[in-house]
Structure 1
Amino acid sequence: MSSPNEPSVPEPPRPGSAAREANGAARGSPAGRIVQSTVSAIVLVLTCILVPVSVLTVWVHDVVLDTDRYVATMAPLAKNEAVQDAAVHRATEAVAVRVDARAVTDDVADWLESQGLPPRAADAVRGLAPQVDSAIDGAVTKVATRFVESDQFADVWTGANRVGHAAVVHALTGQGRGAVGVSDGTITLNIGTLVEQIKEALVNAGLSPASKIPEVDKQMVLFHSEELGKIRNAARLLDVLGIWLPVFTVLLGAGGVLLARHRRRALAWTALGAAFACLVVAIGLVVGRRYYLDHLPAQVQSPAAAAAIFDTIVRFLRVSLRTTIALGVVVALGAYLIGPGRLPQAVRAGSDRTADSAAVWADRHRIRTGRAGTWVETNRRWVTLGAMLVVVLVFALWNHPTVLTILLLVLILLGLLALIALFAASGRVNGGRETGTGAGAAADRPTGPPPPGG
């Protein structure tokens, strides 16, 4: 036993304690916290920027570069009135039945003069040339309109788009051949098949000169932009990134949230930031559409058809942007409702009270969950997390989700959470009955008058 005057011997440090203290000091130091917060903020801002870029990537891969989806996207345009009018106009120009009405009327007038027709009457016959031309043009337009409004045109339109899809893909890499061509920033659809069908219909209708129309290779403009070169470069980049960019964006965002000191708050702000970024892109798409339609070149004969084609091609992109905005708002709202604020606490407390009341009512009517309810009550946090992960997995595997998809999954998640709350409340009731306390004991107490002599 040492005397009070002897110096005390320091206790040797425990193994590993020094390293733990050093790591804790490093994590708790102001400089470490600043670095961690800065890195997290940078990563989350980058995530918000990459979210709309990922949406563009999915659009390029699933619409522009997928033949079946591209054809399905373009198919309804065959019934669009503006596109039909443009097709009639372009096909009529392509057919271009060139009956020399002046020569025909001159020959008829000369023959009639040789048969004794007065010169004034012969001149009147020669003056019929414009009416003959107009009658021929009217016949061509009528036949073309009848064909374009039929199911045959829908088949021709769909077939041309399917055959030409490879050329659209090549168009975005700087090349283009076949039914769809690219030249000087213009993407066109070859309507030669349509012209041949109209020629045949004209011959069958009795307009025999139509059989002498030479082979034509006429184009219908689908899209024109002086910035097509830049669009090609962007599409090529998105093609290289492929489907991995969305996965990378999700992982990047998850890493940024895990690095954040306040993870729930970081998740909410990241979700709102991604939604805002998609909103900016959606607004830019509206502005770009207006600018494009206000600056249509002479190659585009029908502004209405150009608007219909533009809207059809970007329809999936618009839906995806709206879906992402809705998802961001839902995630931010969910992150808020699990927080410590007064309103979230009041909502959760009210839900638990409702579940408890329902469980007590069920117990009085001998509706009980038994051990399942007790297990859910004991492992409620993990069960809730599992339900949320299942819903997230379903959303991730959903093929092209929409805003309605998100609403449906939210309703399903709310139903699962309500079911978990009911099972947990039933477990509490069962536990209270076994211990003779709480709501379970109250549920077992008789509600009628006491027996005589009690």
Structure 2
Amino acid sequence: MTSPHEPTTPEPPPKESAVGEADGHRRGGPAARIARNTASAVLIVLTCILVPIALITVWVHDIALDTDRYVSTMAPLATDPAIQDAAVRRTVEAVDVRVDGREVTSDLAAWMQSQGLPPRAAQAVKGLAPQFDSAVEQSVTKVATRFIHGDKFAAIWTGANRTAHSTVVHALTGQGRGAIGVDEGTVTLDVGTAVEKIKQDLVDAGLSPASHIPDVNKKMVLFQSDQLGKIRKGAHLLDVMGNWILPLTVLIGAAGVLLAHRRRRALARTALGGAFACLLVVIVLVIARRYYLDHLPAQVQSKDAAAAIFDTLLHFLRVSLRTAIVLGVVIALGAYLIGPGRLPRAVRGASERTADSAAGWAYQHQVRTGPVGTWVQAHRRWITVGALLIVALVFALWNHPTALTVLFLVLILLAVLALVALLAAGGRAALHAEHADAPPTDAGG
């Protein structure tokens, strides 16, 4: 009687062992989840902080320190009205044609008086000295304005920026050399070349005293900051980090999302967090611009010119920040729309019903997808994932994308997903029609 039960007598210990192991998993499960969620939260927060830092690094490394891009960035300033006006004023000061109007009119009056001119008329000629000085200054200003607003100045501006780009780099990383110099936080452009050109134009125009203009080394202040020394140290660090910080940021963000218990929400929070961090940097740049322009040092002759320089140098950084904001919002919106909420389900349901209606109408009018639709219906999920990866790869390889680039790629992705939905709906319509046309099976057979 006992033998039948003997095989079962050893089994309670394994059951207890299994229960104990299950209890152990239950005890270790929450701890593991807490650890993963904590690590995920830390990585996501770090990613949100690194996103604007990475964009600034790319700007310093790939814009400010790249000769071709820097020249193309600075070239439009040659035709900026504020820069042209500042250059005209500074060049006129540099030319400084010193003609003693009083001496010239006195000599002219003495000669005319020796020729029989009445003393009163000779005295009137001497009184023309201020008008003579003003006429000379107007002539110089006219020639300088024509030169600065012409193609010659644009060519000189572009050439000077290209040949002296290494010095502009040193404006962020060290001491400067060449046409653009850096000294105690002040970045200047040597206008000596322009002065020589204008000097020759004045001589050609008949103003012979201009030939006595000495060789000058006048400077036009482009930028001034007492914090330039600290900026140099930061720029050097960012330059070193420029080659790897952006992919590292992406990897950290991906790790944070993958470790999260709810990955869709983690993705949305990471995207929104990065967008919010970039928005804060944009606000800081606006405040910094206002503060800088309101506290310009005496060396900067034109506030409008300083604003043009500031805006031009930071243009691509602002574009990158705006692009990151738009991209973050788009990713968060996409993560929300694939979620289980009422609105996402309603949106997806409406799109599926629309696709089914269109496919049904097409099927009735002999417009059919054939085996392609059936295949798309069977592999729809992987096709969608592939489309997302391709769009992401295109964005990653895009040379300096903008917010419009993001919107353009989103429209393409939506068009591809709509096409996939229509093909899949066509496959479902074909399968439904095949099942409807199939003869019923005989239950008695």
- TM-score band by shorter chain is over 0.9
- Tell me, yes or no, if the aligned pair for 1:26 and 1:32 is still in contact at 8 Å: no
What is the aligned partner in structure 1 of residue 137 from structure 2?
137
**Structure 1 residue identity aligned to 2:372:** A
Structure 2 partner of 1:230: 230
> Please, which moves more after superposition, 427-436 or 47-56?
427-436
Deviation at 1:6, TM superposition (A): 8.6
Write the distance in 1 (CA, Å) between the matches of 2:371 and 2:28.
Answer: 43
1:373 correspondence with 2:369 = no
Give the equivalent residue in structure 2 for 1:305: 305
2: distance between equivalents of 1:156 and 1:211? 21
Structure 1 segments (4+ residues) deviating >6 Å: 11-14, 20-23
Question: 2 CA distance for matches of 1:27 and 1:75?
Answer: 63
Deviates more, 1:30-39 or 1:282-291: 30-39
How do 1:276-287 and structure 2 match up within 5 A?
A: 276-287=276-287
Q: CA RMSD, aligned part only?
A: 2.4
Residue 248 of structure 1: CA displacement? Answer: 0.5
Superposed CA offset, 1:220-271 (max 9, x none)? 1111111111211121111010131111000000000011111100110111
Partners of 1:58 and 1:22 in 2: how far apart? 51
2:348 aligns with 348
Between the aligned partners of 2:361 and 2:6, the Cα distance in structure 1 is: 74
- Please report how far the alpha carbon of residue 102 of structure 1 lies from its aligned counterpart in structure 2 after TM superposition: 2.8
Q: What corresponds to 1:8 in structure 2?
A: 9
TM-score (norm 1): 0.90
Equivalent residue number for residue 324 of structure 2: 324
Q: Which residue of 2 aligns with 1:162?
A: 162
Stretch moving more, 33-42 or 80-89: 33-42
CA distance in 2, matches of 1:406, 1:241: 26
Q: What whole-Å deviation, never above 9, does each CA across 1:63-109 have from its counterpart, x for those lacking one?
A: 20111111111111111111111010000000000112233233334
Sequence identity of aligned pairs in percent?
65
Match of 2:204 in 1: 204
- The alignment partner of 1:193 has SS state of helix
Say whether residues 1:361 and 2:367 are aligned partners.
no
Corresponding residue SS for 2:368? coil
What TM-score do you get using the length of structure 2 for normalisation? 0.92
After TM superposition, list the pairs within 5 Å mapping 1:19-98 onto structure 2: 25=26, 28=29, 30-98=30-98
- Rounded to whole Å, the distance in 1 between the matches of 2:274 and 2:304 is 33
Q: Which residue of 1 aligns with 2:293?
A: 293
Instruction: Kindly state the Cα deviation for residue 202 of structure 1 after the two structures are TM-superposed.
Output: 0.2
Bigger CA drift: 209-218 or 323-332? 209-218
SS in 2 for 1:59: helix
Q: Does 1:216 align with 2:220?
A: no
Shift of 1:375: 1.5
* Contiguous gaps of at least 5 residues in structure 1: 442-454
- 1:260-315 deviation line (CA, Å, top 9, x unaligned): 11110011011111100000000110100000000011111111111111111111
Deviations 1:85-141 (A, max 9, x none): 101000000000011223323333444555666655544443332222111111100
Report what 2:442 is aligned to: none
CA contact (8 A) 1:56 1:317 kept: yes
Count of equivalent residues: 436
C-alpha separation in 2, matches of 1:59 and 1:288: 17
1:414-429 correspondence to structure 2 within 5 Å = 414-429=414-429
Write the distance in 2 (CA, Å) between the matches of 1:85 and 1:58: 33
Letter in 2 for 1:418: A
SS in structure 1 opposite 2:102?
helix
Letter in 2 for 1:396: A
Change over 3 Å in CA distance of 1:79–1:7 after alignment to 2: closer
Q: Which runs of 5+ in 2 are unaligned?
A: 440-445
The one-letter code sitting in structure 2 at the alignment partner of 1:39 is: A
AA matched with 1:260: A
The verdict on how the C-alpha distance between 1:356 and 1:104 changes in structure 2, with shifts beyond 3 A counting, is same
Residues 78 and 153 in structure 1, CA contact (< 8 A), matched pair in contact too? yes
The residue identity in structure 1 corresponding to 2:273 is: G
- SS, match of residue 221 in structure 1: strand
Aligned equivalents of 1:299 and 1:9: distance in 2?
94
> Counterparts of 1:149 and 1:185 in 2: how far apart (Å)?
29
> Within 1, Cα distance between the matches of 2:258 and 2:130?
80
CA gap of 1:321–1:142, structure 2 versus 1, over 3 A, is same
Q: Distance in 2 between matches of 1:208 and 1:350?
A: 83
